[in-house]
Structure 1
């Protein structure tokens, strides 16, 4: 994992360690991490985060928003969302976390059975202006989360955001979906025109039905057509969906 972060840690020298954190309750810089476990070792990787990472995140001022694994038991990944007050805060906190002797020992101890992680991917994000400010952190028992990623047609991310801002979220609520975070990807090279967001549903079955009903809604059909006519074509080139269940140590459930 140290190699994954090495480039970013080198950047930490560009920021002063005396930087003052912005005032206000909400961090403004988000990181989504997707960890692929080695085959058959997902439970060990989960335990590494449960036992070692969570306490150290608090120590190093890293806010944990949530930890999930896919609903599909064959999908051996962990999805986590962390947040910080700024990019500089991320650099400083990540550097301190990775250098912490307890984390290094945690990796060593957890890998007594062998290497746990095959790869790790991440994106850095900022909240949109229409992201939910408050939402239920503890919902109905058994609820699932849906991580959706929209790759915008080049030059049309503003149109896509406008459609979500003025129409899509309201229609989601109409069909029983709970709007959570909405982010755009930042600090990516090359730049990415990407919208990432998260919903919750009573169950995967309920989520799938809600989206079927949503897509057949006459209002949505009109909104989609009008927005694409105005933009001169489809607003997205690809959409991905991943159903998730919260892990026992996730702050949001």
Structure 2
């Protein structure tokens, strides 16, 4: 029997940049031409870069990886002090700053995460789906158990590609109740077809019912499942 792949124990940083009105293209250009290379120079791993399909808020979303928090902090310190970064930032902001706000989340893989999906052969971009679940108080372990024992295989059965499954590191708001994960689909039509067949699958219906009966109720709070469809930008390592 093949050995099970060990869990990826790195620290992940999930960052959302709120670009100033009309500045998203300039922000993407700065990342493409300078930022990503400088991240790598300072020991950071670029995992993926996306923009929402419906990007009304001018967002850039990306995921980075580090060996641990100390390495993360050291890398950012070196990056921000780098003269090449200072020059690139100044040049890009001659006509005003590019980013109004930055949101950060620190993540680690769940025990059942199988890693981020690699890019497909031929370079075809996939449609990604970012899903965030807020578990009912105390029931995140039950939710993890259902994903581990049933949901991941059922996603695969219905044509979805499992990406990384993450929990928030301790000390962040809602860290004890949040699951964040990524799926990849061929396109929007494939996503709709997959979700329709998944939700109607009697195996899923039975697994959901059994897990909720065992936990004494729903594993997520009302309106506790959020989904955002994302498209990879041209310089994203994962597409």
Preserved contact between residue 9 and residue 109 of structure 2 (Cα < 8 Å): no
1:142 is paired with a residue whose SS is coil
1:59 is aligned to 2:45: no
1:38 is aligned to 2:38: no
Partner in structure 1 of residue 86 of structure 2: 104
- Report deviation, 1:77: 0.7
Give the TM-score normalised by structure 2. 0.90
Preserved contact between residue 7 and residue 109 of structure 2 (Cα < 8 Å): no
Q: Give unpaired runs (5+ residues) of structure 1.
A: 1-23
Aligned residues: 230
- Report deviation, 1:26: 5.2
Partner in structure 1 of residue 3 of structure 2: none
Preserved contact between residue 108 and residue 168 of structure 2 (Cα < 8 Å): yes
Deviations 1:169-205 (A, max 9, x none): 1110111000011110114334522111111000022
Q: 1:132 aligns with which of 114, 131, 141?
A: 114
Counterpart Cα distance in 1 of 2:133 and 2:29: 31
Q: Which runs of 4+ in 1 moved over 6 A?
A: none
1:171 is aligned to 2:154: yes
Counterpart Cα distance in 1 of 2:8 and 2:43: 13
Partner in structure 2 of residue 226 of structure 1: 210
Describe how 1:202-241 pairs up with structure 2 within 5 A.
202-237=186-221, 238-241=224-227
Describe how 1:80-95 pairs up with structure 2 within 5 A.
80-95=62-77
Counterpart Cα distance in 1 of 2:8 and 2:150: 25
Q: Give unpaired runs (5+ residues) of structure 2.
A: 1-5
Give the TM-score normalised by structure 1. 0.85
